[in-house]
Amino acid sequence: MKGRIFLFTGIILIGVALIVFFSLNGAKLNVYGPGYQPVSAETEQLANMIVRYGVPGLLGGLGLIFLIAGFAGMGKDSNQNKMMKAALQYGTETEGTITFVDKNYTLLVNKNPIYSIVEYKYLDMNGTEHVRKIDNFSSEFVIRYNIQVGNKIKVKYLPNDPSQSVMLLQ
């Protein structure tokens, strides 16, 4: 989700940079020194160059940074989704325990958090304890499924990497 937001912001910033760049085509900035004294032609030309290329360059550069971060975030989300699908399809089922539940206030809609933080622990087939913390678990699901600390849940984990798991809701 964050990847999409960064991607969208990057596209908007690059678009604004292009609009500013082309709207300043042929525009001339009148530059005055202290006491409204005219400045030299070189100083005026430098100021015009800074405004003409600097502002769109800054906006475009920020847009490019956001665009790269957005693509990186979407790639990470894609890998996470592949792992979850593999765990659901090929994973080993075990029982886990909810160890932490709280509201995540990083993203609010109408002053209400839409995500919750849910942490659970489980044992793999070798008896090793693993803990997974989900920062963007739907608050609606937390309420609907009455997820509370101490609840027993079903968990599926990848046999070749038991630290990768997915929580099953009934």
Percent of the chain with pLDDT over 90: 53
Mean pLDDT across the chain: 90
Q: Report d(CA 159, CA 163) in Å as an integer.
A: 9
Give how far Cα 114 sits from Cα of 40, 78, 108, Å. Answer: 57, 21, 6
Q: What is the pLDDT of residues 7-50, one digit of tens each?
A: 999 999 999 999 988 888 777 777 788 888 888 888 888 888 88
**Residue among 159, 131, 141, 4 nearest 76 (CA):** 4
| pTM (predicted TM-score) | 0.64
Q: Could you give phi then psi for residue 98, rounded to 5 degrees?
A: -70, 125
**Segment (H or E) for 89:** helix 55-90
Buried b (16+ CB within 10 A) or exposed e, 2-15: ebeebbebbeebbe
